[in-house]
Chain A
Amino acid sequence: KQEVTQIPAALSVPEGENLVLNCSFTDSAIYNLQWFRQDPGKGLTSLLLIQSSQREQTSGRLNASLDKSSGRSTLYIAASQPGDSATYLCAVTDSWGKLQFGAGTQVVVTP
């Protein structure tokens, strides 16, 4: 059974620092990997989707890498801002479209 782990569970950084969030998965037979943002009491917003054949995706200050063979993905957020404070979740997709989520990393960016 696929297991997705996110480390650390919580992270606090001062504004301006770069954020590095880690995601690992046990079964490399994935269709894609997605990173999501969740604000308290809200639904999830997709940030980046990396297909299994890709190595990375970039959107603005966000960059996500994927190493399928080692079962790892990393989300980098450059020059963090207080508005980046949220919980970030990663999820891997199997060929049926089912997602397996990690428990998330709660990020606090202090002014």
Chain B
Amino acid sequence: DGGITQSPKYLFRKEGQNVTLSCEQNLNHDAMYWYRQDPGQGLRLIYYSQIVNDFQKGDIAEGYSVSREKKESFPLTVTSAQKNPTAFYLCASSRPPTVDGNTIYFGEGSWLTVV
């Protein structure tokens, strides 16, 4: 089945550690996104990528890094510089907005907790 796979579902990070969240899609979408969701709040954009080997900062990129070496993959690293990383992280993908009906598809999310 086509879709977006995020792993792990639950992740615990110790102070000072970097952790990487995986996101893989088999929808052949060019655009991929990472969002952060805090309880009772909407989604905020961390990073997005419109094409392989290119990505742009979103609204809250500080303390995060990404790579886009393959069309299917867009991993997110939460670095030790991110002071409040406990949140629900969502990966998404879509066709370019110039294509009619660019519905965005989301993965099931990853919960990150600092211990």
- Interface pair B97/A93, CB less than 8 Å apart: yes
Within 8 A of A (CB), among B11-28: none
CB distance from B57 to the nearest CB of A (A): 11
- Interface pair A34/B106, CB less than 8 Å apart: no
- Interface pair B106/A45, CB less than 8 Å apart: yes
CB distance from B66 to the nearest CB of A (A): 15
CB distance from A86 to the nearest CB of B (A): 14
Compute how far the CA of A50 lies from the CA of B56 in the bound complex, rounded to whole angstroms. 26
Within 8 A of A (CB), among B27-44: 31, 33, 35, 40-44
Within 8 A of B (CB), among A1-26: 4
Selected A-B contacts with CB under 8 Å, 16 pairs: A4-B42, A31-B97, A43-B4, A44-B90, A44-B106, A89-B43, A91-B104, A93-B102, A96-B97, A97-B31, A97-B96, A98-B33, A98-B48, A99-B45, A103-B41, A104-B42
Write the residues of chain A forming the contact surface with B, with a CB cutoff of 8 angstroms: 4, 31-32, 34, 36, 41-46, 49, 51, 89, 91, 93-99, 101-104
